[in-house]
Structure 1
């Protein structure tokens, strides 16, 4: 049975460090790595590896701030909780709103990407089936989700390792393609590419949003986040250099399937089906982790009355917020069936960067006795989030800012109504 959150219906702390790393890495090494290098190369050219480094530095700052805050506030909800506790209710609400709206769109994009690789021509029904199946899996408990994340992650990493091996191990790679002296894209091009690449890094939040289900969160969460970000940076850097040196800037920029084109160009077309399968599995793993993270934030916001309190219910036996997970799945299925998701990546990136800007601002409020990171870390993270968000394509900036403003307006209107009643 599902009960409301209370002393008898709290999330169970069942995840260890390896489980948290699997969920975080599974969210980060998603469909983005199979598609993001094309548009990033169009923006940055030979400087794309530098853009990967910039995105990784911002991600590391965000991850460090998240880890320190999660150790002080080990509840599910992530920056929704941190912003509320450190900056005030409005900022916590905006963080939660940005995360839920942006990541719900990302869920739909991941579901459609999976379906496009798994069964082309039947994208929408297959995407809905994937959402329903993973939601049912999540209902069985977070340990089951962690186990599935490990399996999917292992398969995807094996595919990426094969791509890097055939690209860098053959004779088709041209090191001149990464000679930064050959082309300067301008700061806007470099930072725009970093903003898009940041979208592919933004999965470590899943570890923090599961804070209520992690054993020894003060130690486990910081360790898992640091290991995950460092490992994924190495993977992305190697894959990015591989596809750029083999395909070249112009071909890579025009490619919608750069990893498949890379193995074909190196004389290994027989690997193309495995790469396509890897992309499908990566999308599935990212979707699994996204549903976990979004549903936990929805549950936390509902418990505080910012969303319908009914959605705060937690299953008594499994400790899973099944009502929130079901609601998220319903919305994602509706987006899959009816919405135009062409701008989903840019829109999601803007929402995630806004979310992490609040994370870093919250970390600045930690005291020296609270294991606050060096001030350079949250300051760099905050500035990086703002700069990368404003460097995204203009439609993404406008739509993302408008949706966040609508959320803030709803919060202010509700507060004004409560004040009148009081």
Structure 2
């Protein structure tokens, strides 16, 4: 029997979002992260095997999305896999999923904020990053509908910029189909590591599931929103990756500080490079907006169950948003953005989020056919894929990610001991 996620004293969120809102929030989360932040480090790991890595990441993302969609329709509450793991596997696994999500996505927020800074004002990247976090936290605090509206504008701008880059690359004399072939620089481990890094770019569809209490008709809206957003993003990533590879080649992409700007210049469209920089900053803003939105909702769900301070479960009486959770998340992200490194944040975030989705797939495995269980192969592939990609990430990312998860598990155990009066 499912436990209610809300606490009578804390207030409830308002169901305002439809399918188009859910799709836009998912797109805003994924497009900014993938195209402008993950392509270059993935190319550095995979070389000319980048497209194979993209395909592997897409398969794992599809399995995760399908499992998450079925679970979200069954449990349409804020918190995502925190709720699913708790209901299907037990309190500990739900807590560990929530902990991994909050910590991992806080690192993602910092990475996206720094991406905004590095494109908008490279000499003051950290200062711009902090300012972006403060501004978007304020937007989220005055209502989720305003967040969805701003995300629509951001997604429209980014899609226009990416379309211009694709056209420039396709019409360039510098484009060479031969650069898309797999060369001697490819290793199996490198392809897997790149897939893990690219997974960072696909994880945005989780924002839709974590907004479970704020969508209308969740059993229909959440699965459709996730499927449509992921499908559009997969197609976009494939087209952009092929075009950029055909112009820069694997090595040029691997060493590019701003891959899409460099591709535009190489393609002979110098005028497009500053437009791409603006588009990159806007895309990262969209990703950051949706990330802060999702982390705050998981914080809300964990606070309701007292895995985090219960005061964070408060819902604003006027705006109907978890304002205390929003403010705390914004503060932590601002501090991280002032001190973090982008590439390190991507690897660390990928490890924690892959652990989160491993628990989602394990939870989906326990669904019955009457509960809408997907074909068994889907959660099985998703679970094994998440674990494989997580442990083929850069060693430092694995060490730090595993250490943070162990720390979270220890905190859970200590809390249970205190609650049981076992001293």
Q: For the superposition of Structure 1 and Structure 2, which TM-score range results when normalised by the shorter chain?
A: over 0.9
Give the aligned partner of residue 19 of structure 2: 17
User: Mind listing any 5+ residue stretches in structure 1 that lack a counterpart?
Assistant: none
For 1:282 and 1:383, the matched residues in 2 are separated by 31
Deviates more, 1:13-22 or 1:117-126: 117-126
Once the two structures are superposed, residues 224-258 of structure 1 have per-residue CA deviations (whole angstroms, 9 ceiling, x without a partner) of 10111111001000111111111111111111111
Once the two structures are superposed, residues 91-112 of structure 1 have per-residue CA deviations (whole angstroms, 9 ceiling, x without a partner) of 0000000000011111111112
Does the 8 Å contact 1:31/1:279 carry over to 2? Answer: no
Once the two structures are superposed, residues 149-197 of structure 1 have per-residue CA deviations (whole angstroms, 9 ceiling, x without a partner) of 11000101111111111101222111111123x3362221111111111
For 2:42 and 2:161, the matched residues in 1 are separated by 21
Give the aligned partner of residue 128 of structure 1: 130
Q: CA deviation at 1:414?
A: 0.9
CA RMSD of aligned residues (A): 1.4
The secondary structure found in structure 2 opposite 1:204 is helix
Once the two structures are superposed, residues 297-335 of structure 1 have per-residue CA deviations (whole angstroms, 9 ceiling, x without a partner) of 001000100000000000122220000000001111111
Give the aligned partner of residue 212 of structure 1: 213
Does the 8 Å contact 2:33/2:200 carry over to 1? Answer: no
Alignment equivalent of 1:152, drawn from 137, 151, 154:
154
Give the aligned partner of residue 404 of structure 1: 405
Deviates more, 1:407-416 or 1:25-34: 25-34
Q: How do residues 84-163 of structure 1 correspond to structure 2 at under 5 angstroms?
A: 84-163=86-165
Q: How do residues 12-411 of structure 1 correspond to structure 2 at under 5 angstroms?
A: 12-180=14-182, 182-183=183-184, 185-340=186-341, 342-411=343-412
Q: Closer, same or farther in 2 for the Cα pair 1:246/1:329, shift >3 Å?
A: same
Runs of 4+ in structure 1 displaced over 4 angstroms?
Answer: 339-342
Does the 8 Å contact 1:131/1:329 carry over to 2? Answer: yes
Does the 8 Å contact 2:169/2:267 carry over to 1? Answer: yes
Q: CA deviation at 1:45?
A: 2.2
Does the 8 Å contact 1:8/1:316 carry over to 2? Answer: no
Q: CA deviation at 1:216?
A: 0.3
The secondary structure found in structure 1 opposite 2:204 is coil
Deviates more, 1:402-411 or 1:184-193: 184-193
For 1:40 and 1:128, the matched residues in 2 are separated by 26
The secondary structure found in structure 1 opposite 2:207 is helix
Q: CA deviation at 1:348?
A: 0.3
Q: CA deviation at 1:8?
A: 7.5
Q: Closer, same or farther in 2 for the Cα pair 1:241/1:121, shift >3 Å?
A: same
For 1:15 and 1:71, the matched residues in 2 are separated by 15
Q: CA deviation at 1:421?
A: 5.6
Does the 8 Å contact 1:5/1:313 carry over to 2? Answer: no
For 1:27 and 1:339, the matched residues in 2 are separated by 20
Q: CA deviation at 1:365?
A: 0.8
Q: CA deviation at 1:36?
A: 1.9
The secondary structure found in structure 2 opposite 1:318 is coil
